[in-house]
Amino acid sequence: MKALSQRRRHPLAAVALLLMGLLITGGLYVAAGSVNEAKAASTYSASDIENGNKLFVANCATCHGLQAQGSVNGPSLIGVGAAAVDFQVGTGRMPMQMQGPQAPSKPVQFADVEVGQLAAFVASLGAGPAIPEHGVLDTTKGNSANGGTVFRVNCAMCHNAAAAGGALTRGKFAPALAGVSEKHIYEAMVTGPQNMPVFNDANITPDEKRDVITFLKEIETQGSPGGAKLGSLGPVSEGLFIWTAGLGVVIAFTIWLTSRPS
């Protein structure tokens, strides 16, 4: 100990400590990567990961880099998990047709098997949210009333209370949720695509996520029992429509009266 104390002021002591720190950090990173690869290998076959790598290089590497490390045209995908890939590719948002403020949903360009292979490859790169299991997507076990409460507190400010979607800033938007599959709704909550925040299990539990999905599917099947939806934007849009239509009728009647010969 005395010898170490005497050498702590040595000019190379700081360099030695830096090298030691780098070695420890590198070792932990390699160990974590090995654990994640082993976990991915237990979930996906080696052939799925290999085929996913080929699909990635052919279709995604231009923007995300050959090793998914990211570039000026696309973010890094290391650690985003299989759920992010399944959502983005499974809804047709990726690959993007052009650069823009947001990736819109469009026809899917890959078969389900290929989407799974891409998800397997990205999952092997770093730990992240997995594709949800059927149990958390079973709406027969969900509580629609509680799901409506959770949705209004956490989601309605962007997606609208009726899940009809809405405009955001700088050309971005929150999409309507009608017709979106249960799996993709769940994946959106755990991965936070576009401007959406990530709702992990500490924010919204898996049971609450299932309740939200149950609520969305229930209002989707209800239709509009009160008449025309008017965008499902609530009393403001309905009042504006009535005001505009009524004012138009008054103006038209006034023009008709003044145009009559005396």
Is residue 184 annotated as involved in ligand binding? Answer: no
Run of H or E residues at 173? strand 173-174
Angle formed at CA 199 by CA 197 and CA 116, multiple of 5 degrees = 95
Is residue 158 annotated as involved in ligand binding? Answer: yes
Cβ atoms of 49 and 41 closer than 8 Å: yes
DSSP category for residue 94: S
What 3-state DSSP class applies to 246? helix
Cβ atoms of 184 and 161 closer than 8 Å: no
Which residue is associated with the tokens 């078969």? 111
Is residue 63 annotated as involved in ligand binding? Answer: yes
Non-local CB neighbours of 22 within 8 Å, separated by 6+ positions:
none
- CA atoms of 166 and 208, how far apart (whole Å): 23
Task: Give 71's strand partners.
Answer: 74
The alpha helices in 8-130, defined as continuous H runs, are 13-43, 46-59, 61-64, 81-90, 112-123
Residues annotated within a binding site for heme c:
60, 63-64, 155, 158-159
Residues annotated within a binding site:
60, 63-64, 155, 158-159
